[in-house]
């Protein structure tokens, strides 16, 4: 009797877990739809800004502080920004980002010498355990980072880079490609680099004469900082939508596993109950035979 009662208790526990994971899957699906819309809607602006910057910077005589390597005093050091999640239950999402961050820091001495900054609670314990000193943890972003907060962060990176305090700024995050594919990526934010596709497009159109009013240098003074901040904001948007995808997939897998475990426990319960009934019938028959 005790065994079947124990199995029945486990069945109830598994059903409760399945109910919770199904609810979390539905919440993650709803958040994913909103985050995907935000990430996708910001891409045309970012890509259009990239295209314009690529055309302006395609000239051989163009020289801008954000396009050339910084002359940092002493040994070169870089700022490394790692974007992780605030909450867990997102499958291998945080583990993949942290693994890439540790490999990047091992392979690049300038990154090891420079400050490591972190977004998200889930990366703090892992990086600290690996012996990485977190210079600053940003808690102001949350699940819905505003452009104003990201803009202030981007401006602080631009100021540090142009002042020669750091030689580069890199962002380690989960790049959102599609709902079925997300890739941990190291993006060089400063010095600013044009995407390969836009760079090729700029090279193809380099022979066409362009006249800019005001001059290309003056336009770049405004557009390059805006492009850096837009790129950083796109990294945040990609990280958020990738986190929701990972949590949605993880909770669906947990729900399916709970369903399978519930079925297996039901079979065990039926067998235990059948054995218990058989034992009781045997005892009754044996007792009746002893009275004859």
Higher pLDDT, 125 or 288: 125
Give the confidence band of 105 by pLDDT, cuts at 50, 70, 90. very high
pLDDT score, position 49: 79
**Phi, psi for 68 (deg, rounded to 5):** -110, 155
pLDDT value at position 206?
45
Rounded to 5 degrees, what angle do the CA atoms 244, 249, 253 make? 145
- The burial of 68, by beta-carbon neighbours within 10 Å (0-12 exposed, 13-18 middle, 19 or more buried), is given as exposed
Report if pTM > 0.85: no
**Could you tell me the pLDDT band of residue 75, with boundaries at 50, 70 and 90?**
confident
Domain boundaries for CATH 1.10.287.80 within the chain: 2-24+252-291
pLDDT in tens, 11-29: 899 999 999 999 988 988 8
Q: Does residue 116 have a pLDDT over 90? A: yes
Confidence category of residue 10, pLDDT binned at 50, 70, 90: confident
Alpha-helix runs per DSSP H in the chain:
2-56, 93-107, 109-113, 122-129, 147-162, 196-204, 216-291
Q: Lowest-pLDDT range, 3-7, 68-72, 147-151, 281-285?
A: 68-72
Task: Report pLDDT for 119.
Answer: 93
Locate CATH 3.40.1380.10 in the chain: 28-249
Say whether domain 2-24+252-291 belongs to CATH 3.40.50.12780.
no
Greatest alpha-carbon pair distance for the chain in Å reads: 115
Tens-digit pLDDT profile for residues 208-243: 455 666 777 777 888 888 888 999 999 999 999 999
Quote the pLDDT of residue 31. 84
CB-count burial class (<10 Å; 0-12, 13-18, 19+) for 276: middle
Average pLDDT, the chain: 83
Fold classification of 28-249 (topology level): Pyruvate Kinase; Chain: A, domain 1 (3.40.1380)
| pLDDT tens per residue across span 142-193 | 778 888 999 999 999 999 998 888 889 999 999 998 888 899 999 998 887 6
Average the pLDDT over 55-68 and give the result: 69
Interval 122-142 mean pLDDT: 90
């Amino acid at each position: 009797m005790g065994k079947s009662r124990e199995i029945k208790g486990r069945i109830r526990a598994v059903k409760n877990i399945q109910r919770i994971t199904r609810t979390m899957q539905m919440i993650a699906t709803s958040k994913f739809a909103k985050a995907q819309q935000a990430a996708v809607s910001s891409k045309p602006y970012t890509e259009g800004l990239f295209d314009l910057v690529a055309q302006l910077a395609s000239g051989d005589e163009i020289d801008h502080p954000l396009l050339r390597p910084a002359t940092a005093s002493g040994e070169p050091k870089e700022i490394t920004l790692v974007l992780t999640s605030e909450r867990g239950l997102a499958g291998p999402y945080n583990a993949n980002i942290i693994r890439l961050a540790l490999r990047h820091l091992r392979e690049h001495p300038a990154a090891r010498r420079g400050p490591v900054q972190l977004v998200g609670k889930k990366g703090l314990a892992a990086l600290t355990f690996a012996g990485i000193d977190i210079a600053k943890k940003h808690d102001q972003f949350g699940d819905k980072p505003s452009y104003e907060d990201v803009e202030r962060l981007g401006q602080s990176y631009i100021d540090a880079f142009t002042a020669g305090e750091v030689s580069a700024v890199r962002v380690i995050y989960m790049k959102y490609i599609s709902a079925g594919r997300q890739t941990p990526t190291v993006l060089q934010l400063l010095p600013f680099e044009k995407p390969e596709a836009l760079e090729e497009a700029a090279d193809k159109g380099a022979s066409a004469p362009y006249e800019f009013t005001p001059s290309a240098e003056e336009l770049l003074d405004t557009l390059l900082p805006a492009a850096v901040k837009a790129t950083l904001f796109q990294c945040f948007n990609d990280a958020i939508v990738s986190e929701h995808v990972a949590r949605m997939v993880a909770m669906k897998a947990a729900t399916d596993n709970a369903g399978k475990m519930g079925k297996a426990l039901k079979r065990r319960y039926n067998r235990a109950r059948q054995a218990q009934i058989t034992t009781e019938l045997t005892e009754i028959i044996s007792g009746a035979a002893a009275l004859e």
